[in-house]
Chains A and B, each alone.
Chain A
């Protein structure tokens, strides 16, 4: 991200932000609510295009990308949100399989990969559950599986523990660390400093749209 500025019509957004996330790096983005964490995430997956500066995600540049290419950028980015965003009208298995159908993976391969992911996030036996039939922690694990199943280069986790109790939050963080250990970069936004301190990861701090510490 080079000199990136994005301001909303009614708010400040982010100003003059510079940073780079390396392959397989684990980075925390911390700051109070309204600091601009979600805005940075959106800039990375190009739901927002900066007014000045350039965001580069993998091989896509925000100043060059065509609108219809954005779906292809998102195939190399796994997204996890505070509010889960699982599709309520289908079960756990179908939710996790969906990104693979989007990419165009062969049917025979999909089953193996999905079962693998479900195993990796510890949800074996819950394949038939719809999101409403899973606990908050389980839903967030499902989201991790869905983000990870397509083998992304980076996972963006926007306050993934926002709706979870401390113990579940900590388990989730450990799961993300395990994912990172396998070689996927992770950018995790949080306003909960206690959760992330002392884990030995890089910490970026944002306040009122400005990157303070990097």
Chain B
């Protein structure tokens, strides 16, 4: 039993050498597919990281009217703090504003101007998980409706644009990947059909010496798995190489690196192997029901 299983596995390996042309075609199809899907995956993963980072940085800055009393301003801050979605606030009075100014510009503004021109302000941090899209516009509108506020600054428009881009990318990524996977499965299934068709006599002979359908099928399936493994492994190596080169260039400009994590690598292998395995299974179903 075990010897027979080993024989069938060995046959799967030998088939790789016997069907060089179709093996090449199938491996190449898997390779191309996994290069495309792998690239999309890497781009997606890294925009994800960027989005995550941006989401945790979302904040709103409120500048109060110059003639507002500090108590009134603190009242407004209290109100803002009670809004849903607001995590905490940091109130900056005029003295602190000058300190910040001094820190940033290295000079005391009061040396130049008698009256402190800096308004009181408040930084509003939002509840942030990074996992979800954040819609800050409702909070902004509510703050706008409060009195005593001169100006609100936030990155709402930019954030919305990035989120929108990210959503669109995710959808396109899924659709394109599924499309490519289906196309590849059908290409591989047709390639393997050619192999099997060319081996019709052999299969008949196997049946004549008492081989079960499983005995005939297993080597083809193992061949399929190996093709998928080889194709996606080469794709993985090539992508890693390109990433390496890309990162070397990137580190000259910034501290950001793009990487391929082990999870991504396993996914690539898994998808590649599944594509080729399903392709083989489909081809075999035609000839050996």
Which A positions have Cβ atoms within 8 angstroms of B?
45, 47, 68, 71-75, 77, 79, 85-89, 98-99, 101-107, 110, 146, 150
Contact present for B202 and A99 (CB under 8 Å): no
Besides A72-B210, A99-B210, A102-B206, 5 more A-B contacts (Cβ < 8 Å) are A74-B207, A87-B205, A107-B3, A107-B6, A110-B3
Of the A-B pairs whose beta carbons lie under 8 Å apart in the complex, a sample of 25, sorted by A's number, is A68-B213, A71-B211, A71-B212, A72-B210, A73-B210, A74-B208, A74-B209, A75-B210, A77-B210, A85-B205, A86-B205, A88-B202, A89-B202, A98-B206, A98-B209, A99-B210, A101-B7, A102-B4, A102-B211, A102-B215, A104-B4, A107-B3, A107-B6, A146-B209, A150-B210
Q: Which of A45, A89, A110, A146 contacts B18 (CB 8 A)?
A: A89
Contact present for B209 and A79 (CB under 8 Å): yes
Docked complex Cα distance between A68 and B209 (Å): 14
- The B164-211 residues at the A interface (CB cut-off 8 A) are 201-202, 205-211
Contact present for A102 and B210 (CB under 8 Å): yes
Instruction: Kindly supply a per-residue 1/0 record for chain B positions 5-48, scoring 1 wherever the CB is within 8 Å of any chain A CB and 0 otherwise.
Output: 01110000000001000000000000000000000000000000
> Given A87-B202, A89-B18, A89-B202, A102–B3 Cβ distance below 8 Å?
no
- The B204-250 residues at the A interface (CB cut-off 8 A) are 205-213, 215
Docked complex Cα distance between A105 and B215 (Å): 14
A148 shortest CB reach to chain B, Å: 12
A73 shortest CB reach to chain B, Å: 8
Indicate whether B1 reaches chain A with its CB closer than 8 angstroms.
yes
Interface residues on B, range: 10 to 19
Contacts of A71 in B (CB 8 A): 207, 210-212, 215
Docked complex Cα distance between A185 and B212 (Å): 25
Docked complex Cα distance between A110 and B6 (Å): 14
B3 shortest CB reach to chain A, Å: 4
Docked complex Cα distance between A106 and B206 (Å): 19
B207 shortest CB reach to chain A, Å: 7
A92 shortest CB reach to chain B, Å: 15
Contact present for B202 and A105 (CB under 8 Å): no
> Given A71-B211, A89-B18, A106–B3 Cβ distance below 8 Å?
yes
Contacts of A106 in B (CB 8 A): 3
Contact present for A102 and B6 (CB under 8 Å): no
Contacts of B208 in A (CB 8 A): 45, 47, 74, 79, 85
